Amino acid sequence: MMYRLVTLLALIMATLSGMPAKAQDGPLRIEITEGVIEPMPFAVPEFVAGGAGGQVAADISNLIAADLAGTGLFRAIPSNAFISRVTSFSSPIQFADWKAVNAQALVTGAVDVDSAGKLVVRFRVWDVFAGQELGSGQQLVGTTDGWRRIAHKIADQVYSRITGEGGYFDSRVVFVSETGPKDKRAKRLAIMDYDGANVTYLTDSASLVLAPRFSPTGDRILYTSYETGFPRIYVLDVQSVSRRVLETQDGAMSFAPRFGPNGRNVVYSLTKGGNTDIYSMDINSGVSQRLTSAPSIETAPSYSPDGSQIVFQSDRTGTSQLYVMGANGGEARRISNGEGLYGTPVWSPRGDLIAFTKQSKRRFHIGVMRTDGSEERLLTASFLDEGPTWSPNGRVIMFTRETQGATGQANLYSVDITGRNLRRVPTAGGASDPAWSPLQ
Amino acid sequence: MNTGNIISGIGHVALIGWALAGPLFRPTPKPFEVTQVTAVSEEEYAAIMNAQRPNDAPTQEVQQPEIQPTVQPDIAAPVVPDAPQESPALDSQADTAPQQQPAPETAQPAAPDATPVPVAPAPETQAQDTTPVLEPPAQDMAALIPQTSLRPKQRPVQRIAPEQVAPPEPDTAVDDVVRQEAAPAESADTPVEEQEATAPEEAATEIVTEAEEAAPVTPSPPTKSVRPKTRPTRTAAAPETQAAPSTPEPDADTGTASGIEDALAAALGGATSEPAQTSAPSGPPLTGGEKDALRLAVQSCWNTGSLSSDALKVTVTVAFDMAENAKPKTETIRLIDSAGGTSGAAQQAYEAARRAIIRCGARGFNLPVEKYASWKTVEMVFNPERMRIK
C-alpha cells in the first residue's frame, strides 16, 4: 500500500514539474519569499590625500571600514584584494573591477587641509552592481584632531544610505570605570566614544558612583553618588564638568534616575521610611511628584520615547517583574510573564521594544520584548549580564558582563537586537553601567 | 414375610456387589506428564553452570572497580571563594534600593564550575565478549512483492426490469420514453422538429454481485513508461495568426453594413481593421520547475542582512527586461509597486532587490531560450515577511 502511494505521489510530482504552467497572462511573475542574511561586502579604498592629509586619509578610511564592519551587517574587503585604485576623487569608478572582488558597496573620498588648517573630507557612496551612486557626495570640515568624529559621521552616512536607518557611530558612552581588586575597587565616571576611544574621566574615585544616564541632548548626565554616605542623584554638565545635587530630602535615598524625552523631567526612585517608590521631578523647578505608592519596591523607571508611559520593575507580586504605567502614575500593568526575575527595563528609542535583564536558572540574560510583553527574546546568557542601554538607532544594545570568580572583572559588551554580533567594547580597565548618548 | 426377606436380601447382595465392583465404574484419570528429576546440590549446580560458559569468559571476570576517593590530579581543585557561594542578585547596584551604609563591593562569588564526582562503578553484569551473530535468512524466504494495481472494472447496471433490454447505441441518450430519431426530410412538406434519438436505460433481469462476476482479466502491467514527447518548437518571434473574424458575411442585399464598417474604420483610424495587440507572450509558458529555478537563483542573492527593520516590512515588486542570453538588462530594472512601509524604506528594499537581480543574473539565468517570449519581461515580488527580525 505504501509502495503504491509513494509511486503515485512520485508520478504526480514528476507530472507537475514537467507540466507547463497555465497559460501565462502578461509578464512572467515570480515571488521571492526567502533570502539570505549575511554581511554585505564593501570596500573603502584609501581616501585620496591632498596636501598634508596623507596619514589622516588612511586613518579615516580605516575607521570608516571598522565602523561598518563592527556592526556585523557589513564585511570589509581587504585592500590587498583591490584590483583598481582610486587616484582621483572625480575620476570615474571602474565598477567591473569592484564587481570582480564582489564589493557591493564602495566608499570613495578625498582628504584635504585648507589654508586655515581645517580638515576637509569629501566622500561618495556607490552601489557597485547597479553602477549608481547612493545619495549624493558630501563634504565635512573639522579640525585635524577631530578626524575620528569626521570618520564616524561618514560611516553614519554610509550606514544610513545602505540600510535605511540611522547610524550610531558618532555617539558616546558614559560608564563607570572600575580599577583595583574586587574587594577594593575604585569606581569613577568616564565618557568615551562608542568604540572605546577618547576616554575622559568625569569624577574621581573618592566616592562610589553608579548608574550614569545621558540627557536626550547629550549635554548632561544624571548619576548616583554615595559622596555623603547616602545615595543621592546628581546632574553633571558634560562640557564644564560641573555638578549639583538633584534630590535633597533629608533621610531619603534617591537613585536610579533617568531623563524624560523632553529633557526636563527626571524619573527616579526614592526610599523613604523603608519604602521605595518612583517619583518624577521637573529638573528646573525641583518640584517632584510621587508616581507609585505600593508597599513593595518600585525602581528602574524608564520613559517611553513619546514620554507618555513609564516601564519599571517591581516586586509587588513577590518576585521582580516588569510593569508599565502612565507617565503620571496610575494603575500599572504587568508585562513580563516568563519564568525568572526581570529587572532594569529600558525603552527602545524606536519605541517598539523594551530591553531588560533576566535571571533564570542561575543564568543572567539580556533580552528584548514588545512593549506589551509579547515576543520575548533572550539575546545573551552568561554568569552575570545586566544593565542594557540602547544605541541611538535602536539596533544595538550595550550592557555589562561580569566574569565569574574572585578575579572576575566587569566589561562592556554590545549585541545586535537579532542576537548576533556579540562583541566586547574595548576599555582600558574594568567597566560597567554603560549609557549610550544620542547622536552628536 | 418372605417378600420382605427377599427384598432385603437382594438389597444387601446389591450393596455388597457395588462395594466390590465399584472401582470398575470410576472414570479413567486424566493423563499427566511425568518428568524425571534429579536432585543436585548447590556445588554440583555451580559446576554445571561453569561448564556451560565459554572458555574465554572466566568466572569472576568483572570485578568491582576501586573507587578513587580523590579527584584526578590534572583537574584543579575548585577555588573556594571568600564570599558565600551565591548567585549574584538580579538587581544591579544602580537600580536597586541601596543599603543605608553602602559596603564596599564584595567579591563576586566564584562558584566552582563543577564538583568532582566519583566515577560510578560498572554494574555487575556478565558481559559476553562474543558478538551475537544473527542467523541469515533462508534463501527461500518469501518477499513482499507489490501487487499489480488492477484497473477497476465498471460496475454492472443495477436496474432491474421484468424484461431484459438490449443496451442502447453508444450515442443514444437515455430517456423514459423511447423515440425514434427524426430529422427533416428533404421530400417532406412539413418540417419535422429535430430531436435526438433516445433509448430506455440499460437494464438486466437479475442482480449480479461481485462474487458472481467472472474473474477479471488481469491487465498486464506496463513494461515501459512512455516518455512525453517534446513540445514542438515554434519560431519565437512569429506572430500568431489571427483567427478569421466571426462576423457574418454581409448579405448581398444589405450593402449598408460594409459602409458602416468602413466609416468606423475611418473614424478609428483603421483600428478595427488591424488585429489587436496584446501584451501576453506568444511563446510557450515556463514550467513550474523552470520558474522555481529562477526563483531560487534570485533568492540566493537577496541579502536582507543589511536592511533596516523598516525596510524589512516592505514588499516591493520589481520589473525588468531580459536579454536572450538570460541576463537582466540592468537599465530596465524598475520599481513598479511597494507595500507596507515608507518611501525611504521602500527605496532600501528596492535597492536590495535590484542588487539580487544584478548579482545573480550577471552570468545569465538558467532559462530555456525557446521560451524567451515567456521570460522576456519579468516581474519579481520580494516579500521579506519570513526574513523579518522577530
Q: What is the pLDDT of residue B26?
A: 59
d(CA A16, CA A14) in angstroms, rounded, equals 5
Residues of chain B with pLDDT under 70: 1, 22-40, 51-283, 389-390
State mean pLDDT over A234-252. 86
Asked if residues A176 and A433 have their Cβ atoms less than 8 Å apart, the reply is: yes
Cβ distance B289 to A18 less than 8 Å, yes or no, reads yes
Query: Residue B164: its pLDDT value, please?
Result: 65
Gap between the Cα atoms of B184 and A15, Å rounded? 49
Please judge whether A30 and B100 are an interchain contact, meaning their C-beta atoms are less than 8 angstroms apart: no
- Amino acid residing at A62: N
Please answer yes or no on whether B302 and A29 come within 8 Å at the CB atom. Answer: no
Whose cell is 517608590? That residue is: A277
A396-402 vs A410-416, strand pairing mode: antiparallel
User: How far, CA to CA in Å, does A42 sit from each of A140, A169, A196, B305, B354?
Assistant: 22, 17, 24, 13, 16
What would the pLDDT profile of A380-411 be if each residue is shown by its tens digit? 999 999 999 999 999 999 999 999 887 888 99
Q: What contacts A242, CB < 8 A, 6 or more positions away?
A: A236
SS3 A223: strand
Neighbours of B20 (CB within 10 A): 9
Output the CA–CA distances (angstroms, integers) from residue A438 to A169, A267, A390, B284, B384, in the order listed: 10, 19, 10, 58, 30
- Answer with the residue of higher pLDDT: B162 or A125: A125
**Average pLDDT, integer, range A18-38:** 76
Answer yes or no: do B380 and A185 touch at CB < 8 A: no
Residue A12 or A211, more confident:
A211
Q: Tell me: the pLDDT tens digits for A266-298?
A: 999 999 888 999 999 999 888 999 999 999 999
pLDDT of residue B160: 54
Given the DSSP bridges, would you call strands A396-402 and A119-127 parallel, antiparallel or unpaired? unpaired
Residues B63-117 pLDDT 10s: 433 433 333 333 333 333 333 334 565 654 455 545 444 333 333 333 333 333 3
Give the Cα separation of A42 and A69 in Å (integer). Answer: 9
Higher pLDDT, B111 or A417: A417
The confidence score (pLDDT) of residue B239 equals 42
Q: What is the pLDDT of residue B17?
A: 83
**Which residue in B79, B82, B85, B90 has the most chain A C-beta atoms within 10 A of its own C-beta, making it the best mutation to test that interface?**
B90
- Say if B50 is an interface residue toward chain A (CB within 8 Å): no
More confident residue, B235 or A328: A328
User: Looking at chain B from residue 133 to 172, which residues have their Cβ under 8 Å from any Cβ of chain A?
Assistant: 146, 149
pLDDT score recorded for residue B224: 53
**What is the rounded distance in angstroms from the CA atom of residue B278 to the CA atom of residue B285?**
16
Q: What is the DSSP letter of A116?
A: T
Q: Which three cell numbers stand for residue A122?
A: 569629501
Burial-class residue B374 by CB neighbours within 10 Å (0-12, 13-18, 19+). Answer: buried
Domains in chain A and their CATH numbers? 40-163 (3.40.50.10070), 172-436 (2.120.10.30)
Which residues of B are less than 8 Å from A99 in CB distance?
362
pTM tops 0.80, yes or no = no
**Integer CA distances (angstroms), A172 to A153, A200, A202, A436, in order:** 13, 11, 14, 6
More confident residue, A200 or B37: A200
pLDDT tens digits for A140-159?
A: 999 999 999 999 999 999 99
Give the DSSP letter string of A282-345.
Answer: ETTT--EEE----SS-EEEEEE-TTSSEEEEEE-TTSS-EEEEEETTEEEEEE---SSSEEEEE
The nearest alpha carbon in chain B to A37 belongs to B305
pLDDT tens digits, B1-50:
578 888 999 989 888 888 777 655 555 555 555 556 666 677 777 777 77
Cα A164 to Cα A160: distance, rounded to the nearest angstrom = 5
Question: A424 with A412: CB under 8 angstroms?
Answer: yes
Residue among B105, B149, B380 whose CB faces A30 most closely: B380
- H-helix or E-strand spanning residue B262: helix B256-267
Would you call B374 and A24 a contact, using CB atoms and an 8 Å cutoff?
yes
Output the pLDDT for position A182: 77
Average pLDDT value over all residues in chain A:
91
Grid coordinates of B146: 507489490
The better pLDDT of the pair B234, A369 is held by A369
**Arithmetic mean of pLDDT, A238-251:** 84
Give the three-class secondary structure for B183.
coil
Q: Indicate whether A16 pLDDT > 60.
A: no
Among A127, A183, A276, the residue with its CB nearest the CB of B107 is: A183
**DSSP state at residue B182:** B
**Cβ contacts (< 8 Å) between A384 and chain B: which residues?**
88, 108
- In chain B, which residue's Cα lies nearest the Cα of A6? B146
Nearest CA in chain B to A178: B105
- The pLDDT value recorded for residue A404 is 87
Residues of A in contact with B88 (CB under 8 A): 364, 383-384, 402
